[in-house]
Every structure is written in structure tokens, then in C-alpha cells.
Amino acid sequence: MQFKFPLISALFAISAIATPVPSTQTSCANVAVSALNGLTSQVADLNSALAGKEDPVSLANAIIAGFASDILTILTTGLSLPCDATLTHQNQEDICDAASSFIKEDKTLVSTLSSKRTVLSDTIWLGAVEGAISGLASATNGYIYPIIDSAPACGGSIESELNSLIDAINEAVGAY
């Protein structure tokens, strides 16, 4: 009886050591990757929706509604992503890959929008579409730079991709 308590305590201590506890690093990285993958999917869905539209009214409505939704998601997700934990190199690489996919999908969307310019050229929606595209640049900048800060391993490559996206956005806005 007198040995029961120390034995139970020892078993708890051993099980605590043997049980993997999710770290702040891993959970922060998982949240960031999940958020980026969700945004990438949302942008891909918008791109698919726009690709088949040739009617100026439905195209303009889809662009404005889709961009408003994407930008709102980017901004609200960005607010919930601060990561105070120092991430492992693998965590950083996972975040870099997800951020890269997000930026590439944004660039594909901008390319689709550039190809739709002629559909909207003689309509009243050009200004609203231009504003939506410009808003994407601002929201993406504000979202990606904190990710670069929390995952320094991807700084150079992601910044380069982001600059390429911003150039494509500026070119698209200039075309509109």
C-alpha cells in the first residue's frame, strides 16, 4: 500500500515523457498551412468560375463578389495567423510551399482577369474590377509579409514570387 502512490506517480511521469505533446511550433505551422491551402482553393474556385464567363454583367458581378470574399478571407485569416513560436526548418518549408502555391494561384487568377478585359472594356464595371484587383495586391502583401517574418527560410523566394505577382497585378490594373 505504501508503494502504490510512488509507483503510480512514476508511471504517470513515464507516460508523460513517452506521449508526444503537440508543440506550439507544429500547431502554428499547421494553422498557417491550412489557412494558405484554404485560400489557394478559394482563389482556384474563383478562377474556375471566371474562366467560363463571357457575359459582362455576370463576369463583373462574379469578379467583384469573388474578390470581396477572397480579400475578406485573406484579411481575417491574416489576423489570426501571428506565430510567436520559433518554427523548425521543416515547419518553415511547409509554410513556404503553401505560400508559394497561394501566390501562384493568385497570379493565375490575375492572368484570367487580364484575358477577360475585352469582355468588360465597354462597361461601367471597369473601375470596380480595377479596384478589386488592386485590393488583392494590398491584401496579399499584408498577408504574406507576416508569414515571411515567421518563416524566414522562405523570405527570398516568396518575396520574389510576391513581387512577380504584384507586377502582374499592376500590369492588369494598367490594362483595365
Domain extent at residue 33: 25-175
Total domains in the fold of the chain? 1
pTM of the model: 0.74
The whole-number average pLDDT for the span 128-152 is 78
Q: Is 9 contained in some domain?
A: no
Amino acid at 87: L
Cell of 9: 506517480
Tell whether the model's pLDDT for residue 127 goes beyond 60: yes
Q: Is residue 50 part of a domain?
A: yes
Unique residue bearing C-alpha cell 474563383: 46
Quote the pLDDT of residue 148: 76
Coil vs helix vs strand at 36: helix
86 located within any domain: yes
Question: Is 107 among the domain residues?
Answer: yes
Q: Does some domain include residue 115?
A: yes
What pLDDT does residue 85 have?
A: 65
- Regarding predicted confidence, which is higher, 66 or 76? 66
Q: What are the φ and ψ backbone dihedral angles of 37, each rounded to 5 degrees? A: -65, -40
Cα 11 to Cα 157: distance, rounded to the nearest angstrom: 48
- % of the chain exceeding 90 in pLDDT: 5
Q: Read off the pLDDT of residues 100-114 as tens digits, 9 standing for 90 and up.
A: 998 999 899 888 888
